[in-house]
Amino acid sequence: MNLSDKVERSMPSKIVVEVPVSWTKNPVDGHKHKSFITNLILSLTERKIPLYFREVPFGADEAPRKPEKGTLVFSYHSWGDEKNIVRMKEAAVTPLFSMDFTGYSGWSDISLNFDKYKSKIDGLDEKDVEKTLNDWKLKFIENNESKYPQSDEELPEIGHGFVFYPMQVQNDPVAIHSEYDGIRLLLEAAELAKENEVYLFVKRHPFCQSFAVEETITLLTQNNPWVIRTNSNIHTLIRRSNSVITINSGVGIEALIDGASVFCAGKCEWQQCCNIIKDKNDLKKAFLHYPEKMNAFQKKTLSFLLTDYWIDPTSPSNYDDAIDNALAKFDSGYGDLDSHINHSDVLLPIILDLHGRLEYEQRKAKQSTLDAYAAIDLYENLKNEKESIASELQQYIERVRICEEELEQLRNRI
């Protein structure tokens, strides 16, 4: 066998691209998803490998992709350990995107296998690192960019030296990567704010619809003078704060770029750049007068994420590098079926759609459970109805579980 035969045999016989139609229709940031996937397809077309497209809905993150033998899959907003899959998602920092082999946030390869990146990170030049971080900081200042549109609301009068807590949605899938949930972190931070007489500024997530979060913030601001609700601009809050606390919200990495002291309770790509929160003693350090900021290695890690680990979709060469990397890691022997007899082309779109619907129901079930128990705890007159409410919730959760079992049976057919 000559070299050209070996190369040909190691290349995929086809490439499947998941098209995020739902994301492209988002009025807030649909344009960036559309631009990313369009440029990726154009770059893949140049490889002269047959391209196939599959629509992917919201919520199919955990669905198995099961690439058949000889197929490379570019999967959108997913995670898992299957081979021959590049898992794509918008990064927490606009306009960057992630093209990872295991997923995003706590499922990302750098989060799961940080040690294998240490030598490359440590080898970065400190002057280059400082320039990279300064360039990004200036970009934030000039453009006032963030993942979500920001309000022009003025900062409350007590406008400096506070601890800032940008909350996430309660049923965010990435919250699984932390032992804290958002409300527990809020309650413990509120206690520490009162004990240390340091203001805690709380900003609710723009898409949060949780009764539990709303009522908790309302009660805290009524009963604890050291807790302040705000909807001011993220960057103004970061720059005037003494520290920022988060589960694993993307605001955390925006704060790191801004030079803030950041405390992070959940696994994510940038957790190693932060002060890690494992318990209340760790959280207490965020309320010190001079909380710890990034050291030299943490700055290098942040620079590595911004320049190497994630890709800038505005540069065509970055797509080529990511595709080259995917082809270099392609395992031509992986997969149970030959492509010409594979049934996944028929069943996978159905599975992805069902996963999206199931994820929606799971999120509703989780949010309903959190809100119901919060209501019970907050209002004395509901405590007598706790058993009845819990029973109704359990029935709903059981229906979701049955759907999960049916979906698993469908998975096993491919």
Q: Are residues 109 and 136 located together in one domain of the fold?
A: no
User: In this model, does residue 281 exceed pLDDT 60?
Assistant: yes
Q: Give Cα 15 to chain centroid, integer Å.
A: 25
Query: Is 347 part of a structural domain of the chain?
Result: no
Whether 336 and 361 share a structural domain: no
| Of 105, 70, 65, nearest in space to 85 by CA | 65
Cα(75)–Cα(101) distance, integer angstroms: 10
The phi-psi region of residue 53 (left if phi > 0; otherwise alpha if psi is between -120 and 50; otherwise beta) is: beta
Side-chain half-sphere CA neighbours of 270 within 13 A: 29
8, part of any domain: yes
Same domain, 145 and 244: yes
With 90 as the cut, is the pLDDT of residue 198 above it? yes
Evaluate whether residue 22 is within a structural domain.
Answer: yes
Q: Return the amino acid letter for 10.
A: S
Q: Rounded to two decimals, what is the model's pTM?
A: 0.82
Of 107-116, 197-206, 279-288, 393-402, the range with the lowest mean pLDDT is: 393-402
Q: Is residue 132 a part of any domain in this protein?
A: yes
Q: Which residue has the tokens 């804290």?
A: 180
Instruction: Return d(Cα 275, Cα 250) in angstroms, integer.
Output: 15
- State yes or no: pLDDT of 202 exceeds 50: yes
Taking residues 319-342, report their average pLDDT.
84
Classify 66 in phi/psi space as left (phi over 0), alpha (psi -120 to 50) or beta.
left
The residues with which 16 forms a beta bridge, in sequence order, are: 52, 73
pLDDT single digits (tens) 6-62: 444 589 999 999 999 999 998 888 999 999 999 999 999 999 999 999 999 888 898
84 closest CA partner among 59, 49, 119, 33: 49
How many domains does the structure of the chain reveal? 3
Buried b (16+ CB within 10 A) or exposed e, 96-130: bbbbbbbbbbbbbbbbeebeebeeebeebeeeebe
Pair 163, 228 in one domain:
yes
Least confident segment among 217-221, 300-304, 410-414: 410-414
Per DSSP bridges, beta strands 275-276 and 262-264 are parallel
Average pLDDT score over residue span 289-311: 97
Quote the pLDDT of residue 356. 67
**Domain residue limits at 140:** 126-306
Helices (H), 11-96: 21-24, 30-45
In a domain, 7, yes or no: yes
* In-domain check, residue 32: yes
Pair 175, 107 in one domain: no
Q: Give yes or no for residue 4 having a pLDDT over 50.
A: no
Please tell me whether residues 73 and 218 are part of one structural domain.
no
**pLDDT computed for residue 1 by the predictor:** 41
Please check whether residue 348 lies inside any domain of the structure: no
Residue 377 pLDDT class (50, 70, 90 cuts)? low
Q: What are the tokens at 327? A: 């082809």
Asked whether residue 350 is assigned to any structural domain, the reply reads: no
Q: Shortest CA distance to 97 belongs to which of 77, 83, 124, 118? A: 77
Tell me what percent of the residues of the chain surpass a pLDDT of 90. Answer: 62
Across 225-254, average pLDDT: 94
The C-alpha atoms of residue 371 and residue 392 are separated, in whole angstroms, by: 14
Whether the CB-CB separation of 218 and 235 falls below 8 Å is answered with: no
The answer to whether residues 162 and 278 belong to one domain is yes
Report the pLDDT value the prediction gives residue 371, as an integer from 0 to 100: 73
| CATH at 199 | 3.40.50.2000
Within this chain, do residues 175 and 285 fall inside the same structural domain, yes or no? yes
Q: Is 174 helix (H, G, I), strand (E, B) or coil?
A: helix
The predicted structure's pLDDT at residue 6:
44
Are 135 and 75 in the same domain?
no
Question: Is residue 12 located within the same domain as residue 159?
Answer: no
Per-residue burial over 20-59, b if 16 or more Cβ lie within 10 Å, else e, is bbbbbeeeebeebbbebbebbbebbeebeeeeeebebbbb
pLDDT for position 5: 45
| Same-domain status, 187 and 253 | yes
In this predicted structure, the answer to whether residue 249 has a pLDDT above a threshold of 60 is yes
Predicted pLDDT of residue 173: 85
| Helix or strand run (H / E) with residue 54 | strand 51-55
Backbone angles phi, psi at 53, to 5 degrees: -125, 145
Cβ(166)–Cβ(249) under 8 Å? yes
pLDDT at 197 over 60: yes
Is the predicted pLDDT of residue 188 greater than 60, yes or no? yes
Residues 336 and 280 in one domain: no
Average pLDDT across the chain, whole number: 87
Helix axes 316-328, 30-45, angle to 10 degrees: 60
Q: Which range, of 84-93, 99-108, 146-155, 261-270, averages the lowest pLDDT?
A: 146-155
